[in-house]
């Protein structure tokens, strides 16, 4: 993710409300529940599975038209975010969370 986009997101993340505050657009919650609703990642406190989740991979491949068996580069998701021109919805949240999780983990 470009440094200016990363800085923009970090400056707008409110720790208390657990939201990204987008001026003139509203807030994007970034909680365990919102991540679950957007990406389908479990948040029930069950033991974390560290491995390939074929269903999750298939969902992302189908959602964004990626060929099965190939992994998109993180820059692909960054470009998606840039091309949204400030639109804030689930189609923004999925690639944004994929980038964040990829960078953090």
Q: What is the pLDDT along the chain (105 residues), one digit of tens a residue?
A: 577 888 888 899 998 999 999 999 899 998 888 888 888 877 777 676 677 778 888 888 888 888 877 778 889 998 999 998 888 888 888 898 888 888 776
Please name which of 68, 96, 100, 72 lies closest in space to residue 84, comparing C-alpha atoms.
Answer: 96
How much is the pTM?
0.49
User: What is residue 12's predicted lDDT score, i.e. its pLDDT?
Assistant: 92
Check residue 20 and give its pLDDT. Answer: 92
- Residue 49: what pLDDT? 63
What is the predicted pLDDT for the residue at 71?
Answer: 77
The pair of structure tokens assigned to 46 is 């069950």
For residues 75 and 52, what is the distance between their CA atoms, to the nearest angstrom? 21
């Amino acid at each position: 993710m470009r440094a200016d986009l990363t800085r923009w997101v970090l400056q707008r993340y409110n720790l208390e409300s657990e939201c990204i505050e987008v001026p003139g657009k509203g807030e994007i919650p970034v909680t365990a529940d919102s991540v679950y609703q957007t990406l389908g990642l479990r948040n029930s406190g069950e033991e974390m599975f560290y491995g390939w989740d074929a269903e999750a991979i298939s969902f992302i491949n189908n959602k964004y038209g990626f060929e099965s068996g190939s992994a998109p580069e993180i820059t692909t998701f960054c470009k998606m975010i840039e091309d949204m021109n400030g639109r804030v919805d689930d189609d923004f949240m999925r690639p944004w969370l994929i980038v964040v999780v990829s960078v953090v983990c």
